[in-house]
């Protein structure tokens, strides 16, 4: 049987170069376990401005922003999440903060309120804050563009409370003016995709646009992975996706019905007790983001008697 094993790059040694060699899974599993029993070391200069994008709508950008953002806050890092989707914002709903958004970035720029009044602090994790660009069903004023978000980043750097460790920008779908506005201040990108051809084509297009804008640090999250469909050859494997896009792999999120429940309750998946498989995958993706690490999909040969294709996290 051939299975898909997913390990961080730091622990992916000889197995990737010699796929026919039987791996020492016990040692690798111990090392992987020990990695998550320590506090991650923040890499790079702060604030780390990360845009979460995809091109195609409905692949899980906002869900990723909410869960990765709160995972970073739970690791002790200060986070400001910016919902850059004009007129169709949803990040406040996923976080359960929709009733507390009184001001937006547009009001700040118009001089109607201060920046600290527009930032909504999460009561569960005080080091997590939300900022919406505009109110639902509203239009941005003429002249509003990427320079507004550049100003926002500089203002957050200089505020009295201190510079945040991460600024996560939830990018709108598409590649129009809203997309250009969202990616302007970013120096890193997380590309969210699903293992289907329409999503992958859009992801490949967005990757080119990000690189043209000068963003070279691009990692991807493969969302809504179903092992049963991969085994039946009805869905591309994570390894196939990585080979097609040629991007570093930040995380793999399995299909999970709990995502819909958590969305409807305004309670992010990573806060669930007991944790779900998807919630744990988001937490691990956040860990890798902190250390600017990635994971590698590795083909490994196991018992020849069993036949199949790939399975999520091996097995």
56 is in an annotated binding site: yes
214 is in an annotated binding site: no
Neighbours of 283 (CB within 10 A): 21
How does strand 2-8 pair with strand 217-225?
unpaired
Rounded CA-CA distance 158/285 in Å is: 29
Residues 6+ apart with CB under 8 A from 76: 39, 127
Residues 6+ apart with CB under 8 A from 243: none
59 is in an annotated binding site: yes
57 is in an annotated binding site: yes
Rounded CA-CA distance 30/60 in Å is: 31
Q: What is the DSSP string of 159-170?
A: STT---SEEEEE
In our burial notation (b when 16+ CB lie closer than 10 A, e otherwise), range 32-52 reads: beebeeeebebeeeebbbbbb
Exposed, middle or buried, 128 (CB in 10 Å: 0-12/13-18/19+)?
buried
DSSP category for residue 299: E
208 is in an annotated binding site: no
157 is in an annotated binding site: no
Binding site members: 56-63
Binding site members for ATP: 56-63
């Amino acid at each position: 049987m051939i299975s898909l094993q997913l390990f961080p790059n730091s622990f992916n040694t000889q197995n990737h170069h010699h796929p026919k060699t039987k791996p020492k899974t016990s040692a690798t599993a111990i090392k992987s376990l020990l990695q998550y029993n320590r506090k991650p070391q923040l890499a790079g200069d702060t604030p780390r401005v990360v845009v979460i994008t995809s091109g195609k709508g409905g692949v899980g950008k906002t869900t990723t922003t909410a869960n990765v953002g709160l995972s970073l806050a739970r690791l002790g890092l200060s986070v400001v999440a910016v919902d850059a989707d004009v007129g169709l914002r949803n990040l406040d709903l996923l976080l359960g903060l929709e009733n507390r958004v009184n001001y937006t970035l547009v009001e700040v720029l118009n001089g109607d309120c201060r920046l600290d009044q527009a930032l909504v602090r999460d009561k569960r994790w005080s080091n997590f804050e939300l900022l919406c660009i505009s109110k639902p069903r509203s239009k941005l004023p003429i002249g509003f563009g990427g320079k507004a978000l550049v100003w926002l980043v500089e203002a957050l750097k200089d505020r009295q409370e201190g510079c945040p460790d991460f600024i996560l920008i939830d990018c709108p779908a598409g590649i129009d003016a809203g997309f250009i506005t969202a990616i302007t201040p970013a120096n890193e990108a997380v590309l969210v995709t699903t293992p289907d051809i329409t999503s992958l084509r859009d992801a490949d297009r967005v990757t080119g646009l990000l690189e043209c804008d000068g963003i070279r640090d691009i990692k991807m999250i493969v969302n809504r992975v179903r092992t049963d469909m991969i085994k039946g050859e009805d869905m591309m494997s994570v390894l196939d996706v990585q080979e097609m896009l040629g991007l570093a792999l930040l995380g793999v999120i399995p299909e999970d019905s709990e995502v819909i429940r958590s969305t409807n309750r305004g309670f992010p998946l990573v806060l669930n007790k007991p944790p779900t498989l998807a919630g744990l995958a988001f937490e691990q993706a956040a860990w890798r983001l902190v250390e600017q690490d990635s994971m590698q999909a590795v083909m490994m040969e196991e018992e020849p008697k069993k036949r199949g294709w790939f399975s999520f996290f091996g097995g």
